[in-house]
Each structure stands twice: as C-alpha cells, then as structure tokens.
Amino acid sequence: NVPGCPLGFTTQLDKSSASVGETVRLSATLENQTGNVQSSPMIVLGIPAGLTLQPWQLKKMVEEKKCDFYELWDGFAVFHFEQLAPNERRVLNLDLRADIAGNFEAPASQAFLYYSNDQRVWSKPERLSVAP
C-alpha cells in the first residue's frame, strides 16, 4: 500500500470452506479517507477460481447505483465509480457460486483512483476450500 493513498480498501469472504453448489459471499469495502471528493475510484476484485459471479447481481449493482459500471477481466471483476464523496464508504457484496471442488486462492485485489493509479491500496488474496 502506498502511504498517503486517499482510499481505504478491504475484502472478506464470509466463509473459508464450502461445498459445490453453495453460495459464498465476497464483500469489498471501499472508503474515501479524506474530506475531499475523490474522482474515478475503481476496484479490481480478484475472484477465486472455482467460484462463479452471478450476472444478474452485477446488473442489479449498476441499477441500484452501487457502482457506475463494471467490467469482467480474466479472474477479476472491475468496478468503476464516478466519484466518492468526502468520507464516503461503499460496500459491494457479491454472492459467488462454488462450482468446482478444490483449494483456491484469488488474485490480490486492489483499489485506486483511475487518474492517479500510482497510489494503490491492496487487499489480501482470499482463500477458499470447496468440497465435492
């Protein structure tokens, strides 16, 4: 993490083990840690292999203005925000479906401002064990 980054960021799985077919919640919290508006923040959220995003939920997040738009990259869901108000906190909850048995670790997640991407804040890679 870069000292002085205006953003705070954490991720958390609601459980460390699941069975195939179960739902696992991945929460990402993005926070503006300043008294100033922050323009164009984004989250690059690592999704553990073996788990699947729910397209209806992503669409609903945009409709409910929890994010302004999203992209799907290989192993990541990327969320874009027009801005974060002073001291604003946004929480994204993704219900992922466990589709494949095994032990999985997501790529590390990160948040940053689009126009000053040298100041990044990282979150630990999330780990999950999926039983058959």
Maximum pairwise Cα distance, the chain: 48
81: which 2 tokens?
Answer: 């925000």
How much is the mean pLDDT over the chain?
Answer: 95
- State the pLDDT at residue 118: 85
CA proximity to 53, closest of 72, 67, 69:
72
CATH architecture of 7-131: Sandwich (2.60)
Instruction: Give the bridge partners for 87, in sequence order.
Output: none
Q: pLDDT digits over 66-90, tens only?
A: 999 999 999 999 999 999 999 999 9
